[in-house]
C-alpha cells in the first residue's frame, strides 16, 4: 500500500514539474502580435444623423372670421392649386350683413339723387333772384352730406362683400396639404389653424442635431444626404440654416440642408445626413489597438531595440467607426500593437512583422 502511494506521489510531482516547465517556457517565449507605425494622417470626423424632407416654405391657413365649418374639400396629402377652395363655413350671417349693406347703399344713393335735384333747383332760382343765398347754401350742404353717406355705404358694402369671401378658405399657393386641424361641424375661431400647406418648389432636409456636434468642431458646409431606403443614392447638399436656439424639449438644434439637386423628393421621406468636420492632422489607430490603464484609454508601445512592450495612457480626440484619433500620448514613428493586446504585461517581449509595421 505504501509503495502504491509513493508511486502516485512521484507521478503527480512529475506532472506538476512538467506543467511548471511549460508555463515558464511560455512566459519566456516572445508573444506574436501585429503592430503598426504611428503616422500623422488627415482625419475627418463624421456623424450620421437621421432627418426628414420638408418643404422650404409652409403656410398655416386659417379663416379670417369665426363660424361653423360646413364643408371640407381636401384632406392631408391632397395636392392643391393657388386659389382653390379648401373649406367653407356657414355664411348666413355674412349674407345678411351684405343684404343690409346693399340696402343702405341704395337708400343713400336715393337721398343723394334727391339732394342733387334740390340743389340744382336752388341754383336756378338763385340766378333769377327768386331764392336767397342761405337756401342755396343749405341745399349744397344737404347734397354734400348725401354724397358722404353714399361713400360710407359703399365702404360698408365692400366690407360686407369681403367678409362673405372670408367664409371660404383658399390655398395661397400650389402645394400639398400636410396637416389638418379642423372638421366639419366644428366652430372655428378667426385665425385658428385649419390647414398647413407645403408649397411646391425647393425642398430641405431637416435634422435635429445635438449641440455637442458643433462644440469645438469646424464642420464642413456640405452634408452628404441620402434616402434611408437607398443609402447609395447620395448627394452633396449645402447647409442653408442653423437654428440659433436650442429646442427646450429635445435639447437639439434644427439644421436645414437645401436639396437643390432633388427638388422632387417626397415630403416626409426619411433621409440620412453625414455631417463631416474639416480634415485635420492626427494619429489614427484601429479599435483593436485600444487598451485600458487605470480606467483610461491606453495603447501598447513596442520598444524596437528590446522588442518589449509598455502600456501608455493616451488622450483620444474622436471616436469613429472602426477607428479612433489620438490627440496626445503617441508620437509619430512609434510602434503600436494593434492585435494581440490581450494578456500582455509591461516588459514582455513580443515578435511582430517589422516589414508590415513600416
How does pLDDT run across 311-349, given as a tens digit for each residue?
Answer: 999 999 888 878 899 988 999 999 999 998 888 888 899
CATH topology of domain 31-42+281-352: 2.40.420
Same topology, domains 31-42+281-352 and 48-56+201-279? Answer is no
Give the pLDDT band (50/70/90) at residue 233.
Answer: confident
pLDDT at position 43: 83
pLDDT at position 13: 52
How does the average pLDDT of the chain come out, rounded? 86
Residue 213 near residue 59, CB atoms below 8 Å: no
Give the range with max mean pLDDT: 210-219, 241-250, 306-315: 306-315
Asked if residue 22 has pLDDT above 80, the reply is no
pLDDT at position 28: 61
Exposed/middle/buried for 185, CB within 10 Å: 0-12, 13-18, 19+?
exposed
Asked if residue 24 has pLDDT above 60, the reply is no
Query: Which pairs from 142-151 meet CB under 8 Å and 24+ separation?
Result: 142/115, 142/118, 143/112, 143/115, 143/116, 143/118, 143/119, 145/115, 146/108, 146/111, 146/112, 146/114, 146/115, 146/116, 147/112, 147/115, 149/108, 149/111, 149/112, 150/105, 150/108, 150/109, 150/112
Q: Model-level pTM? A: 0.62
pLDDT at position 45: 80
The verdict on domain 91-167 having CATH code 2.30.29 is no
The ranges assigned to domains in the chain are 31-42+281-352, 48-56+201-279, 64-86+172-198, 91-167
- CATH class for the domain made up of 48-56+201-279: mainly beta
pLDDT in tens, 152-195: 999 999 999 998 999 999 999 999 999 999 899 999 998 899 99
CA atoms within 13 A on the CB side of 289: 28
pLDDT at position 9: 53
Residues 235 and 272: their CA atoms lie apart, in Å, by 11
Asked if residue 29 has pLDDT above 70, the reply is yes
User: Of 295, 76, 28, which Cα lies nearest the Cα of 198?
Assistant: 76
Asked if residue 90 has pLDDT above 90, the reply is yes
Contacts of 22 (CB under 8 A, 6+ apart): none
Q: What percentage of the chain carries pLDDT values higher than 90?
A: 53
pLDDT at position 314: 93
User: Of 161, 252, 212, 201, which Cα lies nearest the Cα of 54?
Assistant: 201
Amino acid at each position: 500500500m505504501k509503495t502504491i502511494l509513493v508511486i502516485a506521489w512521484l507521478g503527480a510531482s512529475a506532472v506538476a514539474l512538467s506543467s511548471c516547465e511549460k508555463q515558464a517556457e511560455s512566459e519566456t517565449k516572445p508573444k506574436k502580435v501585429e503592430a503598426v507605425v504611428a503616422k500623422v494622417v488627415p482625419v475627418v470626423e463624421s456623424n450620421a444623423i437621421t432627418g426628414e424632407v420638408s418643404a422650404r416654405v409652409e403656410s398655416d391657413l386659417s379663416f379670417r372670421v369665426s363660424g361653423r365649418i360646413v364643408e371640407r374639400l381636401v384632406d392631408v396629402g391632397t395636392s392643391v392649386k393657388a386659389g382653390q377652395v379648401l373649406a367653407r363655413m356657414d355664411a348666413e350671417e355674412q349674407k345678411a350683413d351684405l343684404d343690409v349693406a346693399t340696402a343702405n347703399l341704395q337708400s343713400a344713393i336715393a337721398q343723394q339723387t334727391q339732394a342733387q335735384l334740390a340743389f340744382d333747383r336752388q341754383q336756378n332760382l338763385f340766378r333769377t333772384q327768386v331764392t336767397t343765398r342761405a337756401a342755396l347754401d343749405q341745399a349744397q350742404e344737404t347734397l354734400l352730406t348725401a354724397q358722404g353717406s353714399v361713400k360710407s355705404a359703399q365702404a360698408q358694402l365692400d366690407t360686407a362683400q369681403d367678409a362673405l369671401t372670408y367664409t371660404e378658405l383658399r390655398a395661397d399657393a400650389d402645394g400639398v396639404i400636410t396637416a389638418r386641424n379642423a372638421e366639419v361641424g366644428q366652430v372655428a375661431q378667426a385665425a385658428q389653424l385649419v390647414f398647413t400647406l407645403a408649397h411646391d418648389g425647393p425642398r430641405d432636409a431637416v435634422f435635429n442635431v445635438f449641440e455637442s456636434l458643433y462644440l469645438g468642431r469646424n464642420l464642413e458646409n456640405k452634408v452628404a444626404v441620402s434616402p434611408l431606403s437607398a443609402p447609395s443614392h447620395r448627394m452633396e447638399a449645402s447647409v442653408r440654416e442653423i437654428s440659433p436656439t436650442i429646442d427646450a424639449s429635445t435639447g437639439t438644434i434644427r439644421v436645414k440642408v437645401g436639396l437643390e439637386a432633388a427638388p422632387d423628393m417626397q415630403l416626409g421621406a426619411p433621409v440620412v445626413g453625414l455631417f463631416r468636420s474639416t480634415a485635420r492632422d492626427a494619429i489614427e489607430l484601429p479599435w483593436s489597438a485600444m487598451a485600458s490603464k487605470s480606467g483610461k484609454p491606453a495603447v501598447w508601445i513596442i520598444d524596437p531595440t528590446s522588442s518589449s512592450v509598455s502600456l501608455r495612457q493616451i488622450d483620444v480626440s474622436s471616436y469613429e467607426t472602426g477607428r479612433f484619433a489620438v490627440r496626445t500620448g503617441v508620437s509619430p514613428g512609434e510602434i503600436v500593437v494593434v492585435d494581440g493586446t490581450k494578456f500582455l504585461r509591461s516588459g514582455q517581449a513580443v515578435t511582430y512583422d517589422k516589414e508590415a509595421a513600416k
